[in-house]
Chain A
Amino acid sequence: MSEPLLVVRDLCTTFATPTGRLRAVDGVSFDLGANETLGIVGESGSGKTVLSRTIMGLQPRTNVEVSGSVRLGGFEVVGASETAKRSIWGTEVAMVFQDPMTSLNPVVRIGNQITESLRVRLGMSRAEAKARAIELLELVGIPSAAERFRAYPGQLSGGMRQRVVIAIALSCSPSLLLADEPTTGLDVTIQAQILNLLDELKQRLAMSVILVTHDLGVVATRTSRIVVMYAGRVVETGTTRDVFYDHRMPYTRALLESSPKVSNPSHTRLAAIAGRPPNLTELGAGCAFAPRCAYASDRCRAERPELTAAGDGHTYACWHPLAPRGAPS
């Protein structure tokens, strides 16, 4: 048991598009231990969703190239056949997607959508599967689970649907749960319920969780480590506290400072980042954040910074890192 649950090494996902090759995930490496929660944070187009799908082994069959390595519990996902991947889906890794309406089949009763994987993957009988499905619905906090078993997705609210999606993901007891924007589009009070549920289930079922989100508030108190992505690359990674309080990469700081905070008085001027995330087909040789960065120099525009260690498990990719906390600036 020396190897962590998930080992991602130099992972690249490249799409062939009409306008050129688009490297959506570019040289991403990280580890995830058992019973750990990792946050992957970035703006739209940063590659966080493609990264989570690549870890899962879900890519289109054509026009995509994946290199590098994703080892999940000793299984190499990159290059594995569909049949081989199917053997880990559900039991080793499961995914919760953003939009619970489109990830459920609207014309199939939710009960049947949960029992499907139980019957196919775990070979349960119809009655066993039904009993287990009702247990799962209760586990994710759906009231009167036995009645809801026969409901269609359209009869449930957004929050309830997301609970059903989580129940399906948990049905075969995966060791890793990938949650891609699990609460975006849900109301704040429902979002809090779903995030608490994920936390509680993680403890109870001893899973690891990867929480992919654009919302720093979602990861602040619920993850042990954070990976910050920009234009397909990891620009900073470290413990949650390091990333929030001792970040070195100017992008991380800019991202934190540009989001309004509930505790700030009204009319607090926001530190906006000029410009917008780059077009991935037109990336230059330098740091992708350089055109928007206040500290950018000629070197940043010419040469891409690699990840540099700042301390135990804390790395950043920047030529002009911010001063460590407590150090004179």
Chain B
Amino acid sequence: MSNADQPLLSVRDLEVTFGTRRRPLSAVAGVSFDIYPGETLGLVGESGCGKSTTGKALMRIIEPTSGQIVLEGTDVTTQTGRALRQARTKMQMIFQDPISSLNPRRRVKDIVAEPFDCWKSVRGPERDALVSDLLNKVGIDPEVYGDRYARQFSGGQCQRISIARSLAMRPSLLICDEMVSALDVSVQAQILNLLEDLKVEYGLTLLFIAHDLAVVRNVSDRVAVMYLGTICEIGPADALYSAPAHPYTKFLLGAALEADPDSPARDDVLQGEPPSPLDPPSGCRFRTRCPYATEKCVAEAPASREVAPGHQVACHYPLTVTTKGPASDD
């Protein structure tokens, strides 16, 4: 059915604008990317860069202002009513706060069975068997815990239950929005490993949204870096981390703290803070903090260009990609 060359999800010029006409806040300002079947695309950026809004706009939890979202050949952007709800079963979302994403007064097995009950797809013993199977898959014993209430579980366990629920309709795309950032490192590692296993078992494609650079590299095949509503760089995870082409990516990676006392001291800390999306800079959105910015960056928003196969950067002066020789220098 799905062909590896055909993207599973294709997003073109996605824009989300909040606020009034007089004072628009462009949270997502023209984002385009593809996700191919079976891969994990990491979406990384600082708070306010629009990464969560992008994820929610894909699900149409937040209505996109413009742009196109095509999932498995279906244009999700134009659908309404039942067709939209049907499309949403193909993409599921897992949220940051595991405890508030579950109803504390419902039993675990009812929470996981909710999608089945909504769609009346399976009932009776078959439904119960599927629920038990899902709970087993995420490491929660349905015999012991199935009848307990969501409020009786820890954050890590709640996140496991959320995963079980999201897998109930056998989605092809899972959107994970900061799903491990509220968890302790030891629990975070369990959930990340679980996600990798389930990805293989269920043939999932993942959009993994997070601010933690180490976590994103760990789970992703490709990574997109967002800044102030735009994607500034997208490429294979290891290539992007070892040879960032966009100055922002370089500074972001430089600021990441490595748990190693011998890691070299960084003095090239990015100064200042991201500008307000209510009043974004002209031209390149990063130019106000970029040490390499010139007049061209003020005048003209950089178009995305390829620095290596599958590695695109939106910068007038991309940093040299060492393995591929000097980048073009206009």
Q: Which residue of the partner chain A has the closest CB to B253?
A: A262
Residues of chain B within 8 A (CB-CB) of A255 are 185-186
Assess A260 versus B257: contact at CB under 8 Å? Given A193-B269, A268-B218, A273-B186. Answer: no
Asked if B273 CB lies within 8 Å of chain A CBs, one says yes
Q: Mark A217-243, 1 if CB is under 8 A from B, else 0.
A: 110110000000000000000001100
Across the interface, A188 reaches (CB within 8 A) one of B46, B217, B218, B237, namely B46
Q: Mark B253-278, 1 if CB is under 8 A from A, else 0.
A: 11111111101011001110100000
Asked if B251 CB lies within 8 Å of chain A CBs, one says yes
Assess A274 versus B237: contact at CB under 8 Å? Given A188-B46, A244-B260. Answer: no
Across the interface, B219 reaches (CB within 8 A) one of A44, A267, A272, A292, namely A267
Asked if B114 CB lies within 8 Å of chain A CBs, one says no
Q: When the two chains form their complex, are residues B156 and A276 in contact, meaning their CB atoms are under 8 A apart?
A: yes
Q: Mark A255-295, 1 if CB is under 8 A from B, else 0.
A: 11011111111111111111011000000000000001000
Query: From residue 227 to 264 of chain B, which have CB atoms closer than 8 A to chain A?
Result: 237-238, 241, 251-261, 263
Question: How many interface residues does B have (CB within 8 Å)?
Answer: 45
Q: When the two chains form their complex, are residues B154 and A276 in contact, meaning their CB atoms are under 8 A apart?
A: yes
Assess A258 versus B265: contact at CB under 8 Å? Given A189-B251, A220-B259, A264-B218. Answer: no
Asked if A173 CB lies within 8 Å of chain B CBs, one says no
In Å, the complex CA distance between A85 and B189 comes to: 41
Flag the segment in B87-95, B100-108, B190-198 that touches A.
B190-198
Flag the segment in B22-30, B207-215, B298-306, B320-328 that touches A.
B207-215
The smallest beta-carbon distance between A39 and chain B, in angstroms, is: 11
Q: When the two chains form their complex, are residues B193 and A270 in contact, meaning their CB atoms are under 8 A apart?
A: yes
In Å, the complex CA distance between A272 and B213 comes to: 18
Q: When the two chains form their complex, are residues A263 and B258 in contact, meaning their CB atoms are under 8 A apart?
A: yes
Assess A271 versus B270: contact at CB under 8 Å? Given A188-B255, A261-B259. Answer: no
Q: Which residue of the partner chain A has the closest CB to B190?
A: A272
Asked if A139 CB lies within 8 Å of chain B CBs, one says no
Q: When the two chains form their complex, are residues A189 and B252 in contact, meaning their CB atoms are under 8 A apart?
A: yes
Question: How many interface residues does A have (CB within 8 Å)?
Answer: 48
Asked if B220 CB lies within 8 Å of chain A CBs, one says yes
Asked if B32 CB lies within 8 Å of chain A CBs, one says no
Asked if A303 CB lies within 8 Å of chain B CBs, one says no
Q: When the two chains form their complex, are residues B185 and A258 in contact, meaning their CB atoms are under 8 A apart?
A: yes
Residues of chain A within 8 A (CB-CB) of B218 are 260, 264, 266-268, 270
Q: Mark B143-169, 1 if CB is under 8 A from A, else 0.
A: 000000000001010000000000000
Q: When the two chains form their complex, are residues B255 and A261 in contact, meaning their CB atoms are under 8 A apart?
A: no
In Å, the complex CA distance between A203 and B256 comes to: 23
Q: When the two chains form their complex, are residues A43 and B193 in contact, meaning their CB atoms are under 8 A apart?
A: no
In Å, the complex CA distance between A192 and B213 comes to: 14
Most chain A beta-carbon neighbours within 10 Å: one of B46, B184, B237: B184
Asked if B188 CB lies within 8 Å of chain A CBs, one says yes
Asked if B129 CB lies within 8 Å of chain A CBs, one says no
Asked if A196 CB lies within 8 Å of chain B CBs, one says yes
Query: From residue 109 to 150 of chain B, which have CB atoms closer than 8 A to chain A?
Result: none
In the complex, 23 of the A-B residue pairs with CB atoms within 8 angstroms, ordered by the A residue number, are A43-B184, A43-B186, A187-B46, A189-B251, A189-B255, A189-B270, A214-B185, A220-B258, A244-B261, A255-B186, A259-B188, A260-B218, A261-B258, A262-B217, A264-B214, A265-B217, A265-B237, A265-B238, A266-B220, A269-B196, A272-B186, A276-B154, A276-B184
